[in-house]
Amino acid sequence: MILICPECNKGQLFFDYHNTYEDYFKTSNYITDSKGELLEETIQLYLVYLCEKCRKKLRLTFEDVEKMFRKKIAQDVSRVKNLMYIKENRELEDLRSSSVMIFCGECEGFDGKGNCPDRFFNRCALRTKSHGIQLP
């Protein structure tokens, strides 16, 4: 799965070993136990990621990355459910008898930009949901 940069919302994030190493090197206060093993609590919790577009370096924990993945998957599921709703509820007459496209922005709409024919718009259940779309 691709991580999208939260700064520019366009570029992909890539793990940057070199910058992670340099960051760890600057702030290394590692403590070892009696066997010479590093104590887990002294190891940094983040890794450095680099955006391919804006070149921003981000320190992200595994928790941050997991949250980004979960949000992306939820957005994809929501998008597909919205498209399924449109596919299952559209009628041939929606395009034939409508001369106006209306933008509501709740989903991608008929045209992929959030616009639907006025006939479909008037009966669409997606646009009547507030604070998120909850489909069965």
**Encoded tokens for 45:** 């919790």
For range 48-55, the mean pLDDT: 96
Percentage of the residues of the chain whose pLDDT score is greater than 90: 48
pLDDT tens, residue by residue, 97-124:
888 888 888 888 888 898 889 889 888 8
pLDDT of res. 125? 86
The rounded Cα 91 to chain-centroid distance in angstroms is 31
**Encoded tokens for 8:** 């520019």
In the chain, what are the domain boundaries?
13-64, 76-121
Place of tokens 């590093």: 38
Whole-number Å distance between alpha carbons of 32 and 48? 24
SS3 per residue for the chain: CCCECCCCCCCEEEECHHHHHHHHHHCCCCCECCCCCECHHHCCCEEEEEECCCCCEEEEEHHHHHHHHHHHHHHHHHHHHHHHHHHHHCCHHHHHCCCCEEECCCCCECCCCCEEEHHHHCCCCCCCCCCCCCCC
